[in-house]
């Protein structure tokens, strides 16, 4: 008698849910006239196609014997050397860098090193479901800490840690996105960064810093990363591990990122890489190395900034011009997202159904909180993907619905 093969699936596979964000992207993709602020997608206009095409051809022709072969699990030496040119912090060396298949892969390996099923990760609320899903795959449970305009609230973090430690819960690390956070667009100021590290020191838990947008700053001063602060000012080099990505600079399809952290953390991450990815794509790594070595990197970043800054400004302008009183939004200094807060009476999950009929899409805020949190009056808007005219029209449609 035929029995479905799914009966043999693991409990974890059987309990997996589809990503709501991916579902919205599927629903809105290719729909004529749809203006979507839903995805977290870079603009295809930002991809350096000509330079990459030339470099891929060059790398395969010149280094084919090497890059079409199996590569090192820790990543390509040439790319690590190139990264050391852009990450100019003293005492950083190759042993402290792991090249990953996008930053999600680094987040996954880091989590693999720390989490046994049921262990706890403290994250910002709202938080980025993509990274949390990678952690969930390792069996992590999450405790969210509320934010103000400067990120995770230190007092709340302390209370949360104290309560969890009092109950002898296994808290393994604190996960933060300090710059142009996804979804809120908020940036942690310097004082807050120091406070968060000091609290982590007090409770002796590590921090995982996720920094995929750091280079995309449109105004304001650059602030040292938590990773830099811990290594320099706070003399605690093992406290913070940082994940970075080429996704928002060269293109997410390349699937390339890197993690920098203390050798005692990077080493077991490499061992996970040996088992799971074997190595990142070798040709792509060499292309990225040449992209940096040829001096294209800084030029590429300024091209993206010049593309996205007017889009962010257009969205803020359109929100100001169209939204009814009582609705507020964040003013991101960089990145790709604006977070909008409505009157408590507006349920953005329901608003989305009407918005899709009017051909405009966003992600309801509820998708960025753990299950059970009942906040329903917020939403995330992406401003990097649509052009300025579509941004004006899309916000006008959304405001009309509200």
List residues binding ligand PLP (CB under 6 A).
Answer: 40, 102-104, 128, 130-131, 177, 182, 210, 212, 245, 247, 252, 257
Say which residues have a Cβ less than 8 Å from residue 338's Cβ, sequence separation at least 6.
185, 312, 315, 316, 319, 329, 330, 331, 332, 380, 381, 383
Pick the closer one to ligand PLP by CB: 63 or 334: 334
Give the 3-state secondary structure of residue 123: strand
Cis peptide before 126 (omega within 30 of 0): yes
Distance from C-alpha of 285 to C-alpha of 278, rounded to nearest angstrom: 14
Biggest CA-to-CA distance, the chain? 68
Alpha-carbon distance values, 117 to 7, 134, 208, 268 (Å)? 22, 13, 18, 18
- Whole-number minimum distance, CB 348 to ligand PLP, in Å? 20
Give the 3-state secondary structure of residue 22: helix
- Whole-number minimum distance, CB 68 to ligand PLP, in Å? 24
**Which residue's CB atom is positioned nearest to ligand PLP?**
102
> For residue 137, with 0-12 CB atoms within 10 Å meaning exposed, 13-18 middle and 19 or more buried, which class applies?
middle
Distance from C-alpha of 262 to C-alpha of 209, rounded to nearest angstrom: 13
Pick the closer one to ligand PLP by CB: 234 or 335: 335
Pick the closer one to ligand PLP by CB: 194 or 214: 214
Taking a C-beta distance cutoff of 8 angstroms, is the pair 353, 28 a contact? no
Pick the closer one to ligand PLP by CB: 247 or 348: 247
Pick the closer one to ligand PLP by CB: 36 or 182: 182
- Whole-number minimum distance, CB 145 to ligand PLP, in Å? 16
Pick the closer one to ligand PLP by CB: 103 or 300: 103
- Whole-number minimum distance, CB 186 to ligand PLP, in Å? 12
- Whole-number minimum distance, CB 182 to ligand PLP, in Å? 4
Taking a C-beta distance cutoff of 8 angstroms, is the pair 316, 103 a contact? no
- Whole-number minimum distance, CB 69 to ligand PLP, in Å? 25
């Amino acid at each position: 008698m035929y029995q479905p093969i799914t009966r043999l699936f693991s409990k974890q596979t059987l309990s997996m849910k589809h990503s709501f964000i991916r579902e919205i992207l599927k629903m809105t993709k290719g729909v004529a006239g749809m203006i979507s602020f839903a995805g977290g997608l870079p603009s295809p206009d930002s991809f350096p196609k000509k330079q990459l095409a030339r470099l891929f051809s060059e790398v395969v022709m010149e280094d084919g014997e090497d890059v079409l072969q199996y590569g090192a699990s820790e990543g390509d030496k040439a790319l690590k050397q190139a990264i050391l040119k852009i990450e100019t912090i003293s005492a950083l060396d190759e042993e402290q860098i792991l090249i990953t298949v996008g930053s999600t892969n680094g987040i996954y390996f880091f989590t693999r090193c720390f989490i046994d099923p049921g262990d706890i990760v403290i994250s910002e609320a709202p938080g980025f479901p993509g990274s949390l899903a990678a952690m969930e795959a390792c069996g992590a449970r999450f405790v969210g800490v509320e934010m103000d305009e400067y990120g995770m609230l230190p007092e709340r973090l302390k209370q949360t840690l104290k309560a969890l430690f009092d109950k002898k819960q296994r808290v393994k690390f604190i996960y933060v996105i300090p710059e142009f956070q996804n979804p809120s667009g908020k940036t942690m100021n310097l004082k807050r960064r120091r406070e968060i590290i000091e609290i982590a020191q007090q409770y002796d838990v590590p921090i995982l810093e996720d920094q995929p947008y750091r280079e995309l700053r449109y105004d304001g001063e650059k602030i040292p990363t938590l990773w830099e602060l811990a290594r320099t000012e706070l003399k605690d080099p093992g406290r913070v591990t940082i994940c970075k990505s080429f996704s928002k600079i060269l293109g997410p399809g390349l699937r390339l990122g890197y993690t920098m952290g203390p050798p005692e953390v990077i080493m077991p991450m490499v061992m996970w890489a040996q088992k799971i990815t074997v190595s990142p794509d070798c040709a792509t790594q060499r292309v990225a190395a040449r992209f940096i070595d040829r001096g294209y990197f800084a030029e590429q970043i300024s091209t993206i900034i010049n593309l996205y800054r007017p889009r962010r400004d257009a969205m803020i302008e359109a929100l100001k011009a169209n939204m009814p009183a009582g609705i507020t939004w964040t003013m991101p200094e960089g990145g790709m997202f604006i977070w909008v807060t409505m009157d408590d009476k507006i349920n953005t999950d329901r608003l989305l159904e009407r918005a899709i009929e009017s051909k405009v899409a966003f992600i309801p805020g509820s998708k960025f909180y753990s299950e059970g949190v009942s906040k329903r009056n917020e939403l995330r808007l992406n401003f990097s993907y649509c052009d300025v005219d579509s941004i004006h029209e899309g916000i006008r449609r959304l405001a009309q619905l509200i």
